[in-house]
Structure 1
């Protein structure tokens, strides 16, 4: 590198666990070769007293931090903020996070369509105990906490098989219909214009026959709670045929990624996609996460370094304009092509962010809600969800507008979540645990 070439500094403010996983030596060294230096921000000192930084990379929350970012941005108008706190907060609510998907308009895809799950929000136990409140849902359903802030509590989910299982749930929750999807989930990582899609193991399909023999509900946990037996059960993973699963259409994934980035005003995120087994070419977006675990992604150092190099050299003026204003609001940003269509014209849009607050500090407003206790947000006919249980991932990498680079190698992956069994995971090979076997489950 020429000695006169400008170097750029990225100040990062991350929780210890996030810092350990993301700021790895491989990333630091590669970025340094490209003229980019990562500098740790001291969270015990005022941000305005540190730097100078060309970019602030953060994943911290709270009013004090938001105010510090605003003050820093005012004093340093040319510095990039990655990403605006107000935009990040939208993903902390499982309804508002998927509402943006229903608002996307992308070019017509000949052989594939996309949508969002059918789901209902239950805010209190009284509504939960009234079957009329969720009579539009078909069992099994996934119960998820309404708040999705990355805490351990927000990851506690249950698969509910019948009405008896509903009694154990604790509102506020989102009830989302489970859709058979071949036991495969597609995770799409986005870093600005860079997009990478990987496939992982998910929950096995539930047939009508199996559903009739199940009772109550099953609880799920993150990968950190897996036992050694569950992680090493090769028979379970092999039977899912992950390597045979076809990737979603590249054009569809890139269009969705671009649309979400613009609509949410976020540039570091991933979204989860499943393929409805009953339709085949119908893809459902079921979750969106800000600043995910990029280190789990193949070649993450190269992708993230290229992304930071691009924005620091202002290669993408749209991204730079967004990042230089922490209060920037998207305006009709989901419209991204000449041939357009709404992803789900029939979707009921019932929840948006406003000034009022719910129990966890997330602002909500109900519009056209049929009952005060619950909110419906669906795409009418699709009933998806998943709980991912990966062990192997295959990936394809592509840059929007550039040729596709394919990575066919199969990589071992220590990944997400699975059903928590005390017994061996082989029980899943012959179907779900039956009523007499429930003693082996954690509830």
Structure 2
């Protein structure tokens, strides 16, 4: 690995959360140079790069309505296209689809068929594209077999607004939703969320607090608006996570089932750096997938640095043995317009 250069293209927030300075120091001890990429400057002068690791979520989302972000994305894609031997982690098309909950929930809904033997599923959901659909939402809820309470999430799965969610308890309260969004049946899970962090062929499961149980079926309770960050962070303390009754401990997720889930998602997504939020249904003990996250924070994963460097070494080894064409699929990227249309 000596002499390898790995470029990182991250927002300031992601850079701090990942502690990129510490990772760069860790890599330096293994003969790998970490370079921070400045998108506002020509990439050619900053290269060459053996691998580029990025989280361009801000740029992709903003490119829908901001010409400067469109240009930054175009410059990045031009560099990647002109340097096919540079490995991109992860492919932009795969990342873009996970920014759109409509797309990621379609992927999640298909897991029931491919992972039936592992008793893995995803709750039924309904896409709400615009306010014109509001009068017919109740029909859609019934047709898709959704059950109250419902959890409502924004369509765009990135940015501070994406963490603003609501719990809806009756048909009358469906007027509280703000399209575009998704409605998903809420599954009682004993206020425990299992966050699965994936780094290449390794994964780690970390337990977090989550929403408490609610009575099934419609009721006259008012809509609850909440921020998921305030509920499910390691240090979170919220009334929404406090169980009202004695709740027997649920079994942890089956390690074999989680491994099967990760393998299936890696194959479907073509990605190496992502997270999966799973819960255990208190009634059926079914492993239930409720969200997929791009390049998460990896909080609580002490082996993250070594796992990431190991994955970088692995993809470079495969690339070296397979030849220059090996990076082609990993480096492919949609046009800025195509990226925007997915949101």
1:265 and 2:235 are equivalent in the alignment: no
CA distance in structure 2 between the partners assigned to 1:43 and 1:50 by the alignment: 10
Q: Could you say if the C-alpha distance between residues 230 and 87 of structure 1 is closer, same or farther in structure 2, counting changes exceeding 3 Å?
A: closer
Query: Between Structure 1 and Structure 2, how many residues are aligned?
Result: 323
**8 Å Cα contact 1:10/1:38 also seen in 2:** yes
Aligned twin of 2:311: 307
TM-score normalised by L of structure 1: 0.64
Q: Could you say if the C-alpha distance between residues 107 and 129 of structure 1 is closer, same or farther in structure 2, counting changes exceeding 3 Å?
A: closer
Deviation at 1:56, TM superposition (A): 1.0
Instruction: Kindly report structure 1 stretches of 4+ aligned residues shifted beyond 6 Å.
Output: 237-242, 315-318
CA distance in structure 2 between the partners assigned to 1:143 and 1:317 by the alignment: 47
1:283 and 2:282 are equivalent in the alignment: no
1:201-350 paired onto structure 2 within 5 Å: 201-208=209-216, 212=219, 214-223=220-229, 231=237, 236=242, 244-280=249-285, 282-314=286-318, 323-326=327-330, 328=332
| Larger fraction in strand | 1
CA distance in structure 1 between the partners assigned to 2:303 and 2:312 by the alignment: 15
| Larger fraction in helix | 2
Aligned twin of 1:412: none
CA distance in structure 2 between the partners assigned to 1:94 and 1:167 by the alignment: 21
Aligned twin of 1:85: 92
**8 Å Cα contact 1:106/1:256 also seen in 2:** no
Of 38, 42, 49, the residue aligned with 2:45 is: 49
RMSD of equivalent CA atoms: 3.4
Q: Could you say if the C-alpha distance between residues 42 and 241 of structure 1 is closer, same or farther in structure 2, counting changes exceeding 3 Å?
A: farther
CA distance in structure 1 between the partners assigned to 2:18 and 2:295 by the alignment: 10
Unaligned runs of 5+ in 1: 330-352, 365-443
3-state SS of the aligned residue for 1:52? coil
TM-score normalised by L of structure 2: 0.81
Of 5, 9, 14, the residue aligned with 2:5 is: 9
**8 Å Cα contact 2:279/2:287 also seen in 1:** yes
Unaligned runs of 5+ in 2: 64-69
| Cα distance per residue 1:413-433 (max 9 Å; x no partner) | xxxxxxxxxxxxxxxxxxxxx
Larger radius of gyration: 1
Deviation at 1:356, TM superposition (A): 9.9
Q: Could you say if the C-alpha distance between residues 198 and 239 of structure 1 is closer, same or farther in structure 2, counting changes exceeding 3 Å?
A: farther
CA distance in structure 1 between the partners assigned to 2:46 and 2:153 by the alignment: 40
Q: Could you say if the C-alpha distance between residues 238 and 140 of structure 1 is closer, same or farther in structure 2, counting changes exceeding 3 Å?
A: closer
Deviation at 1:262, TM superposition (A): 1.8
Aligned twin of 1:140: 149
3-state SS of the aligned residue for 1:139? coil
1:179 and 2:190 are equivalent in the alignment: no
| Cα distance per residue 1:225-284 (max 9 Å; x no partner) | 99xx97398x94898889x5432122221121122112111111001111222212x212
CA distance in structure 1 between the partners assigned to 2:149 and 2:186 by the alignment: 6
